[in-house]
């Protein structure tokens, strides 16, 4: 089912929200010249409010928890507050819920969950973390403590979604690569099926009383004169109206900044001329938090690239494939999701072909193959009964392609890929052959807002800014991906619920 048909949510319009009446109204106020130098923990409700750098506020609604962003992190952050009986509002700037998470390939990096154990794909968290830690260190992630905490929390997040919300996952044992066996989980219907995870969670939150609104673009955080966060100002109705929502706690879960050319230019200039797959990851979450004094970190740590057809980047984990460049040369291992895109961009190869056969077409990811090839038919060649026909259709020198296949077949006979270290599905491809053309793109970022272990946004001297939290790709969590964002949101939601309980004790 198309996302637009399934995940559109008719929330309360801006006009009807305003018609609910002024649940909290404030006279015009002025933010102090340097509000963060004040007492950050002040909670004097009599103080006048103002969005940072803007005129006066009039709340159209007030809630206990306001979550900016409806991706995996935002939805997960709502779980604990909703369970605790708190009023929770989740907003998204798009007309659709789900954020960039909904468009992901669905590959979840997690180990040690009950879902995996039940399927016999058990791998200790400690052992799996050593694999993940090595990869993070190789790409320049220094602050690994939070990344490890999220990795260790990820199995609990998976089991929570499965047991309490009915999220469904595929058989974990289908992953055969020694490197990632017991370390990868997919949604029920395989690659790209985020509906099986996100829709049950969304519906469960709705049933429990959470309120959703779309077309709400955050433009300012509302502060008291003592720099206590009191809510968020939104541009709604395509920018024709403004709504102020008051909240005791604000959670920023607005995604990364891979779509923002200015931010990529500033922090990741080596990637600025690489195309981008995402469209909504504009860094608004980071900028909102920075506007109230939040500190950013790790923004210059480059995240991996992927294919502009993200599901195809993962096919090598589930069946035999061969990756070649425009000249027919193999240049990366096929059982690593990011390897081809990273190598293609680094060597300025332009594009690459993933070659596959009927085993992949009819295998466990047949749904993904059918969906991707039908939706990208102009990128697909085949079926071809021999390598000469494949080379002709793909515009590759036939002699080079045949030489690449001969070398790959020799590696298979030897039982070891000396060139690139492939371990999964190291086996021959048989005619008829197919191939799909891909290009490297940006799709996620690693850096973001500096937070404490509860997700509270940290200002100067690492002092927590009262009332505002950050999670998922908006925060500097070290890791990037569905499981890390989900675990981050879950933990922040638990911290928010606990802090509200403490206030009301």
SS3 for 369-434 is: HHHHHHHCHHHEEEEECCHHHHHHHHCCCHHHHHHHHHHHHHHHHHCCCCCCCCCCCCCCCCCCEE
The pLDDT assigned to 302 comes to: 84
Q: Note whether 198 and 101 are within 8 A (CB).
A: yes
- Strand-pairing partners, residue 88, are 65
CATH topology of domain 306-441: Flavocytochrome C3; Chain A, domain 1 (3.90.700)
Give the SS3 label for residue 240. coil
The pLDDT assigned to 237 comes to: 76
Per-residue exposure over 214-243, b if at least 16 CB sit within 10 Å of its own CB, e if not: bbbbbbbbbbbbbbbbbbbbbbbeeeeebb
Q: How far is CA 430 from the centre of its chain?
A: 36
The pLDDT assigned to 377 comes to: 94
Distance CA 38, CA 457 (A): 16
Give the SS3 label for residue 300. coil
Q: Note whether 297 and 147 are within 8 A (CB).
A: no
From residue 21, how far is each of 89, 234, 315, 343 by CA, in Å? 17, 17, 53, 57
pTM score above 0.75: yes
Label residue 385 exposed, middle or buried (CB < 10 Å: 0-12, 13-18, 19+): exposed
Calculate the CA dihedral of residues 215, 218, 224, 226 and round it to 10 degrees.
150
**Which H/E stretch holds residue 494?**
helix 482-504
Mean pLDDT by runs of 10 across the 505 residues of the chain is: 38 36 27 32 48 74 96 95 97 84 82 85 84 81 83 93 92 70 82 88 94 93 88 86 94 94 95 92 94 93 90 91 97 92 96 96 90 94 96 97 96 93 90 97 92 94 93 88 93 97 90
Distance CA 408, CA 405 (A): 5
Instruction: Return the domain boundaries, the chain.
Output: 306-441
CB-based contacts of 478: which residues, under 8 Å, 6+ apart? 136, 141, 143, 144, 146, 147, 150, 298, 446, 484
From residue 472, how far is each of 28, 177, 475 by CA, in Å? 34, 28, 6
Radius of gyration of the chain (CA): 24
């Amino acid at each position: 089912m198309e996302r637009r048909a399934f995940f559109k949510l008719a929330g309360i319009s801006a006009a009807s929200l305003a018609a609910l009446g002024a649940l909290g109204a404030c006279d015009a106020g002025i933010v102090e010249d340097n509000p963060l130098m004040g007492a950050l923990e002040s909670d004097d409700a009599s103080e006048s409010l103002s969005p940072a750098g803007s005129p006066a506020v009039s709340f159209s609604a007030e809630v206990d928890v306001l979550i900016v962003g409806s991706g995996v992190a935002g939805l997960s952050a709502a779980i604990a507050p909703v369970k605790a009986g708190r009023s929770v509002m989740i907003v998204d700037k798009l007309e659709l819920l789900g954020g960039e998470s909904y468009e992901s390939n669905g590959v979840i990096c997690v180990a040690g969950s009950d879902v995996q154990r039940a399927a016999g794909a058990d791998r200790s968290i400690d052992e799996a973390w050593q694999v993940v830690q090595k990869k993070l260190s190789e790409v320049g992630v220094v602050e690994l403590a939070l990344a490890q905490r999220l990795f260790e929390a990820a199995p609990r997040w998976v089991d929570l979604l499965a047991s309490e919300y009915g999220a469904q996952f595929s058989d974990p044992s289908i992953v055969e690569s020694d490197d990632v066996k017991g370390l990868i989980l997919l949604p029920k219907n395989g690659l790209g099926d985020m509906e099986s995870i996100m829709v049950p969670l969304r519906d469960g939150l709705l049933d429990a009383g959470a309120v959703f609104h779309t077309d709400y673009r955050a433009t300012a955080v509302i502060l008291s004169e003592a720099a206590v966060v009191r809510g968020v100002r939104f541009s709604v109705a395509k920018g024709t109206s403004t709504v102020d929502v008051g909240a005791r706690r604000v959670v920023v879960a607005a995604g990364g900044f891979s779509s923002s050319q200015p931010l990529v230019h500033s922090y990741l200039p080596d990637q600025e001329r690489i195309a981008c797959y995402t469209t909504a990851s504009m860094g608004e979450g980071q900028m909102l938090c920075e506007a109230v004094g939040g500190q950013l970190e790790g923004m210059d740590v480059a995240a991996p690239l992927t294919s502009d057809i993200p599901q195809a980047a993962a096919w090598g984990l589930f069946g035999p494939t061969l990756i070649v460049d425009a000249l027919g040369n193999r240049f990366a291992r096929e059982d690593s999701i990011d390897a081809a895109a990273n190598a293609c961009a680094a060597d300025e190869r332009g594009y690459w072909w993933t070659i596959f056969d009927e085993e992949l077409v009819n295998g466990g990811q047949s749904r993904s193959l059918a969906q991707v090839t039908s939706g990208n038919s102009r990128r697909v060649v085949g079926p071809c009964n021999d390598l000469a026909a494949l080379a002709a259709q793909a515009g590759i020198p036939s002699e080079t392609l045949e030489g690449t296949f001969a070398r790959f077949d020799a590696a298979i006979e030897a039982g070891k890929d000396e060139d690139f270290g492939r371990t999964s599905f190291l086996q021959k491809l048989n005619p008829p052959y197919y191939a799909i053309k891909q290009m490297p793109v940006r799709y996620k970022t690693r850096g973001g807002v500096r937070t404490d272990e509860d997700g509270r946004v940290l200002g100067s001297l690492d002092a927590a800014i009262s009332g505002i939290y950050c999670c998922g790709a908006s925060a500097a969590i070290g890791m990037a991906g569905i499981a890390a964002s989900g675990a981050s949101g879950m933990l922040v939601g638990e911290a928010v619920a606990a802090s509200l309980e403490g206030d009301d004790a």
